């Protein structure tokens, strides 16, 4: 789509896998690096979708039909859904709106607008969506949290259902685990004052982790979940890259404190597991025991939907 733009200024877009099995829709934001200063942007930034996007821009789990994309798995709650997958080619976790120069490199952070264009196209195609789930992996987990309210408003405005939210390995930890200085750097580089913060006034005082409660308050019908390994190696690296050093013990503590802060909310649940693996939605069911049951209970409206916190 010409109205979507990647970090190097080239055109972006999203991929779909459609089916006649249902009018259910899943929007999935991919992960892929962080760029907010000269150091992080000098790394291997994914700045385009390439000449052959279906081969170069999509995660392996997506192209091999694994995890939630596996239509043959009878335990997969999304097996009959229509899928839309948005690559992360803007370096801004899908939430930025700025053009910045980092040394000799100019980066177009237009992830927030790309999600908006994707939502517009999907809404035009699925105004009658029977069920909508928005999800994201790694940077995409951050992005889907920051974009949730706009997406939900769009579908609710045409009488559609309140979308479910599934966040995979992209947690907004509370302060001090996500340092206030790190947040300020991201806000400035990606112009979050014009994108995310208007949807979360309390984020200014409480930090970006307040987005979870802001999303719940704005959409009372929301059922949202956060999945993460206690020692996720990439989450630790990401936090270090943005200036919030989080070791294995600190990450576990930060996750448990986040879950405890939302313990009184019936519409937010957590699924934590041991190990340093990064992500779960793109992997076969047997890689993360119990996750299929957890997700089924989230989207079928079950009252018996509980956090898994071993």
- pLDDT tens digits for range 160-212: 999 999 999 999 999 999 889 999 999 999 999 999 999 999 999 999 999 99
Domain that holds residue 149: 15-299
d(CA 16, CA 82): 7
Q: How many CB atoms lie within 10 A of CB 65?
A: 14
d(CA 238, CA 276): 13
- pLDDT tens digits for range 68-81: 999 999 999 999 99
Classify residue 35: in a domain, yes or no.
Answer: yes
- pLDDT tens digits for range 100-124: 999 889 999 999 999 999 999 999 9
d(CA 295, CA 300): 9
What predicted TM-score, i.e. pTM, was given to this entire model?
0.97
Classify residue 212: in a domain, yes or no.
Answer: yes
Tally of domains within the chain: 1
- Alpha carbon 54 to its chain's center: 20
Q: Is the pLDDT of residue 231 over 70?
A: yes
Most distant pair of Cα atoms in the chain: their distance: 54
What CATH number corresponds to the domain at position 126? 3.40.50
d(CA 99, CA 243): 22
Would you call 73 helix, strand, or coil by DSSP?
coil
Classify residue 142: in a domain, yes or no.
Answer: yes
d(CA 69, CA 83): 8
Classify residue 1: in a domain, yes or no.
Answer: no
Classify residue 126: in a domain, yes or no.
Answer: yes
d(CA 47, CA 108): 9
Classify residue 3: in a domain, yes or no.
Answer: no
């Amino acid at each position: 789509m010409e109205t979507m733009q990647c970090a190097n200024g080239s055109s972006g877009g999203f991929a779909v896998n459609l089916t006649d099995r249902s009018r259910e829709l899943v929007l999935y934001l991919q992960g892929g690096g962080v760029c907010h200063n000269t150091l992080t942007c000098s790394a291997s930034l994914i700045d385009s979708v390439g000449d052959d996007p279906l081969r170069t821009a999509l995660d392996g789990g997506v192209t091999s039909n694994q995890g939630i994309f596996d239509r043959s798995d009878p335990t997969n709650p999304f097996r009959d859904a229509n899928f839309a997958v948005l690559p992360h080619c803007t370096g801004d976790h899908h939430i930025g709106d700025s053009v910045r120069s980092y040394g000799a490199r100019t980066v177009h952070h237009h992830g927030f607008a790309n999600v908006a264009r994707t939502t517009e196209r999907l809404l035009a195609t699925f105004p009658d969506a029977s069920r909508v789930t928005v999800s994201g992996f790694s940077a995409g987990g951050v992005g889907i949290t920051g974009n949730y309210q706009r997406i939900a408003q769009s579908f609710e405005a045409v009488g559609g259902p309140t979308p479910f939210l599934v966040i995979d390995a992209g947690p907004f930890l509370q302060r001090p685990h996500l340092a206030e200085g790190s947040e300020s750097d991201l806000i400035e580089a990606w112009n979050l004052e014009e994108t995310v913060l208007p949807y979360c006034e309390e984020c200014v005082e409480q930090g970006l982790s307040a987005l979870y409660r802001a999303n719940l308050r704005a959409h009372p019908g929301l059922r949202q979940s956060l999945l993460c390994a206690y020692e996720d190696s990439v989450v630790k690296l990401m936090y270090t890259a943005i200036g919030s050093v989080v070791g294995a013990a600190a990450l576990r503590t930060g996750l448990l404190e986040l879950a405890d802060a939302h313990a009184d909310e019936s519409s937010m649940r957590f699924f934590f597991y041991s190990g340093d693996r990064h992500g779960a939605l793109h992997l076969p069911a047997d890689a993360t025991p119990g996750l299929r049951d957890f997700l089924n209970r989230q989207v079928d409206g079950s009252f018996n939907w509980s956090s898994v916190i071993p």
